[in-house]
Amino acid sequence: MILHQYKIVFGGKMGAGKTQAIKSLSEISVLSTEAQNTDQQAHNKALTTVGIDYGEIKLEDGVVVGLYGTPGQDRFDFVWSVICKGAIGAVILIDHSQKDALEDLKFYHKTFKEYVNNIVVGVTHVDEDSKHLLKQYKDWMHLNQLSMPIFAIDAREKDEVLLTVEALIARAEVEYA
């Protein structure tokens, strides 16, 4: 069933790990809308999401949470607001190996802040460029007086992705308690 009381959205640029993060967490077969990547300049990967990805995770108390992945290409940005409607928050994934990773954080934070109040950041691909790790992102957040949890994660590792989701849920519980 795709309609849930609780919904978490994964956003970020193509190649940041959204589909993989959902696959790592989901307890059902992931509904994926991946198609042949025709934008090899943006990211050198075979497939890319062109609609939504969907998975589910069951929390300890039995609550089922829908996991929704957005397409990462800007040309599909019209669907982001629709996917975010009713979400308890968003996990923004940033590909640390990209030269413009900090600009991606700025862009996705600004954009998704229009749709959800609760954002957690997962920085992926840190193994490909270990320089400064999270410092540049934390400095930017501090400079802009933003308070968001930020984690270095491997989207293939369930426990690391789960940490971002747990942080998002904890923030939602505090906000709505």
Given a contact cutoff of 8 angstroms between Cβ atoms, the answer to whether 17 and 124 are in contact is yes
What confidence tier does 107 reach under pLDDT thresholds 50, 70, 90? very high
CATH of 6-176, one of 3.40.50.300, 1.10.3470.10, 3.20.20.70, 1.10.3720.10: 3.40.50.300
The enclosing H or E element of 56 equals strand 53-58
Residues paired with residue 93 on neighbouring β-strands, in sequence order: 12, 122
**CA-to-CA separations, 176 to 23, 28, 82, 113, 118, in angstroms, rounded:** 28, 28, 22, 17, 11
How many angstroms separate the CA atoms of 65 and 4, rounded?
Answer: 7
User: How many CB atoms neighbour CB 82 within 10 A?
Assistant: 11
pLDDT > 60? residue 15: yes
Assess whether pLDDT exceeds 90 at residue 72: no
Please list the helix, strand and coil fractions of the chain in percent, rounded to the nearest 5, in that order. Answer: 35, 25, 40
The pLDDT tens digits for 131-163 are: 667 999 999 999 999 999 999 999 999 999 999
121 and 105 Cβ atoms separated by less than 8 Å: yes
SS3 19: helix
Per-residue pLDDT, 138: 95
Whole-prediction pTM: 0.86
- The answer, yes or no, to whether residue 67 has pLDDT greater than 60, is yes
Q: Contact 145/176 with Cβ under 8 angstroms? A: no
Query: At CA 136, angle to CA 129 and CA 134, rounded to 5?
Result: 60
Higher-pLDDT residue of 94, 75:
94
153: phi then psi, degrees, rounded to nearest 5: -135, 160
Of 82, 73, 71, 95, which is closest to residue 19 (Cα–Cα)?
A: 71
In whole angstroms, what is the distance from residue 42 CA to residue 65 CA?
31
